[in-house]
C-alpha cells in the first residue's frame, strides 16, 4: 500500500480516547481451540474490529474506522509509513487463515479473518469480517469470554496476548475463586501458538515465562503463578493461577481493612 494514499488523514471518530476501554467478546472456542499465526499487531487489530460489534448485531456490519483512529489506539505517530504498515496488517488478516475445532460437531472450520477492506485517500477504512466467524462473535449467550481492549493493546508479545485471553477464559466464576488454567505442556504450547519444534524447556524459557512476566507487569488484576506436575524429570502437567483473585476482606475491631492486591507501580 503506497504511502501517498494517506498523506491527508482525518479523525472520523470523536471517541478515540475512550475506544481502548471498549470490550471484546468472543466465543471460547476462538480462544482455546483456534489455530493461527497472527502477530501481536494483528491480534490487537482483530480485537479492535471485534470491539466494534454490538451485542444485538445479527450480521456483520461493515466496520467504519480510520488509520488515524487505529494509529492513536496503538500509540503510533501520524505518518504515511505507519498508516501504510497498518493497511498492510489489515491486508495480511485478509490472507491469513484460522482453523477452529468444534469437538461437539467433530468439525474444523477453515476460514480467514477479514473478508474485505476498502481504503480511502483520507485514511478512512471500511472492514468486513469473514462470515464464517459469525458463530464465534455474534449473538453470544454462553461459552464466551469478555475482556477490555485496553488490556490486549498494551501487551507487546503475541504470546502474552494469547495467554492473557486464556486466563480470562479460565475465570469462569468472575473471580469468586482463583482462576486456574490447566493443560499439558503440549496443549498449552498449542493454545499459545508456540513453535511445534520447541521442547518444554525452550517453550518455558522463550514463550511462557516472558509472557507471564509481561502480564504481571502490565495487567492490573493479574498476578500469575505457575505450578508444574512432573513424572520423573518430565513435566507432564501445567497449572497457571491468577492469584489476584479472590479479593479478600478482613475486619478487625472497629477498623475495616481492605486488602488491595493490586501491585505497586
pLDDT in tens, 50-63: 999 999 999 999 99
pLDDT at residue 235 greater than cutoff 60: yes
- CB distance 62 to 34 below 8 Å: no
Question: What is the structure's pLDDT at 9?
Answer: 58
Q: How far apart are alpha carbons 47 and 137 in whole angstroms? A: 11
Question: What is the structure's pLDDT at 265?
Answer: 28
Question: What is the structure's pLDDT at 49?
Answer: 96
pLDDT at residue 4 greater than cutoff 50: no
Question: What is the structure's pLDDT at 104?
Answer: 85
Strands lying side by side in the sheet with 114-119: 63-66, 124-129, 114-119
For the residues 95-104, what does the mean pLDDT come to? 93
- CB distance 171 to 179 below 8 Å: yes
Average pLDDT, the chain: 87
Give the distance from CA 181 to its chain's centroid: 16
Q: How far apart are alpha carbons 242 and 104 in whole angstroms? A: 29
Question: What is the structure's pLDDT at 11?
Answer: 53
For the residues 175-181, what does the mean pLDDT come to? 95
In the chain, the domains with their CATH numbers are 3-150 (1.10.10.10), 156-250 (1.10.10.10)
Q: How many residues are given for the chain? A: 265
For the residues 229-234, what does the mean pLDDT come to? 94
- CB distance 48 to 149 below 8 Å: yes
Amino acid at each position: 500500500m503506497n504511502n501517498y494514499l494517506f498523506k491527508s488523514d482525518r479523525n472520523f471518530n470523536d471517541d478515540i480516547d475512550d475506544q481502548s476501554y471498549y470490550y471484546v467478546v468472543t466465543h471460547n472456542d476462538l480462544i482455546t481451540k483456534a489455530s493461527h499465526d497472527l502477530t501481536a499487531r494483528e491480534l490487537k487489530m482483530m480485537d479492535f474490529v471485534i470491539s466494534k460489534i454490538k451485542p444485538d448485531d445479527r450480521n456483520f456490519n461493515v466496520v467504519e474506522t480510520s488509520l488515524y483512529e487505529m494509529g492513536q489506539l496503538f500509540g503510533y505517530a501520524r505518518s504515511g509509513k505507519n498508516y501504510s504498515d497498518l493497511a498492510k496488517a489489515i491486508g495480511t488478516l485478509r490472507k491469513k487463515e484460522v482453523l477452529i475445532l468444534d469437538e461437539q460437531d467433530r468439525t474444523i472450520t477453515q476460514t480467514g479473518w477479514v473478508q474485505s477492506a476498502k481504503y480511502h485517500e483520507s485514511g478512512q477504512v471500511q472492514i468486513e469480517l469473514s462470515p464464517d466467524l459469525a458463530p464465534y462473535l455474534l449473538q453470544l449467550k454462553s461459552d464466551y469470554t469478555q475482556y477490555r481492549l485496553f488490556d490486549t493493546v498494551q501487551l507487546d508479545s503475541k504470546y502474552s496476548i494469547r495467554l492473557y485471553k486464556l486466563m480470562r477464559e479460565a475465570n469462569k466464576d468472575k473471580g469468586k475463586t482463583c482462576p486456574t488454567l490447566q493443560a499439558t505442556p503440549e496443549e498449552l504450547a498449542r493454545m499459545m501458538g508456540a513453535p511445534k519444534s520447541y521442547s518444554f524447556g525452550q517453550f518455558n524459557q522463550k514463550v511462557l515465562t516472558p509472557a507471564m512476566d509481561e502480564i504481571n507487569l502490565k495487567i492490573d488484576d493479574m498476578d500469575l503463578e505457575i505450578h508444574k506436575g512432573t513424572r520423573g524429570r518430565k513435566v507432564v502437567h501445567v497449572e497457571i493461577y491468577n492469584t489476584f483473585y479472590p479479593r479478600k476482606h478482613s475486619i478487625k475491631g472497629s477498623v475495616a481493612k481492605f486488602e488491595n492486591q493490586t501491585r505497586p507501580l
